[in-house]
Amino acid sequence: MKDRGIIKWQPFNSLIPSQILINSILKDKRKVKKPVLSLDQLYQLNNLVIECFYNNLEVNIKYYKNNQINFIKGQITKIDRNNQFIYVNDNLKLHFSQLLQIYT
């Protein structure tokens, strides 16, 4: 049996109240739970952040924000150890708890 995908929802999009409900259900389906990192992974992530910052390396960062996993490429420009934030390309501020993985 083949699923028709989005085609089966098209007749319901003509009704505004049901369209809002369907869109909210589809949005909830796309939500992702935050992965849990072990202490070893957190320690390794911390070391990578510091190494990449001091060596001015360009990195690919995988982070969790707004129930989604996102990616960004750039340089770590600032580390705020007191508040546990890192700044990427001077325009993105990430809390250390949002970081999932760093690639060099």
The pLDDT tens digits for 77-102 are 999 999 999 999 888 999 999 999 99
- Residue 9: the pLDDT is 56
* Neighbouring residues of 56: CB distance < 8 A, sequence distance ≥ 6: 75
The CATH code for residues 39-103 is: 2.30.30
| Whole-number Å distance between alpha carbons of 60 and 62 | 7
- DSSP element (H, E) containing 99: strand 99-103
Domain coordinates of the chain in residue numbers?
1-30, 39-103
- Output the 3-class SS for 11-77: HHHHCHHHHHHHHHHHHHHCCCCCCCCCHHHHHHHHHHHHHHHHCCCEEEEEEEECCEEEEEEEEEE
Contact 71, 81 (CB under 8 A): no
- Residue 27: the pLDDT is 84
CA 91 from chain centre, in angstroms, equals 16
The pLDDT tens digits for 53-74 are 999 999 999 999 989 999 999 9
More confident residue, 20 or 54: 54
pTM for this model (two decimals): 0.72
